[in-house]
């Protein structure tokens, strides 16, 4: 049996996630297999609020927001499963986070998140985000269902 690959536009993402601007940090889920993995992106423009202060005259997307964007992408892996519909996940930990290149206005942050393990309310995932073909950030993430 083949796995269903789905995609989500911004309206579908907003029905699934509680986040709203300026904290909704994904624009599209291009590929998702429920319970396995998700891929998608965030388009970055100079209009992002965080660029105004991080840093003036040299705008860079804060690393913690790159991690948050990957977490939101990872949420789609579970929230597309009817068993998890309307559940709420929060960060419980981040391990082995590495930031490899700056993410700036005009970039597209392409994300790939793979589910590693689900044990009760605890979820482990591995995420990578790229700008073009350059790895921008990679991390092991732990989420808790509350």
Catalytic residue numbers? 54
> What are the φ/ψ torsions at residue 14 (nearest 5 degrees)?
-70, -25
**20: which residues sit within 8 A by CB, 6+ positions away?**
14
Q: Give the C-alpha separation, 130 to 64, whole Å.
A: 15
Q: Give the C-alpha separation, 143 to 43, whole Å.
A: 24
């Amino acid at each position: 049996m083949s796995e269903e690959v789905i995609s989500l536009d911004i309206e579908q993402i907003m029905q699934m996630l509680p986040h709203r601007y300026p904290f909704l940090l994904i624009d599209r889920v291009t590929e998702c297999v429920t319970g396995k993995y998700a891929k998608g992106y965030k388009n970055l423009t100079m209009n992002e609020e965080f660029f105004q202060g991080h840093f003036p005259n040299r705008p860079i997307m804060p690393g913690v927001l790159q991690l948050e964007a990957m977490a939101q992408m990872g949420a789609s892996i579970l929230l597309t499963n009817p068993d998890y519909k309307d559940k709420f996940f929060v960060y419980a930990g981040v391990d082995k986070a590495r930031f490899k290149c700056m993410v700036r206005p005009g970039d597209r942050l392409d994300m790939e998140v793979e589910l590693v393990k689900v044990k009760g309310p605890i979820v482990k995932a591995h995420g990578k985000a790229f700008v073009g073909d350059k790895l921008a950030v990679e991390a092991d993430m732990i989420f808790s269902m509350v």
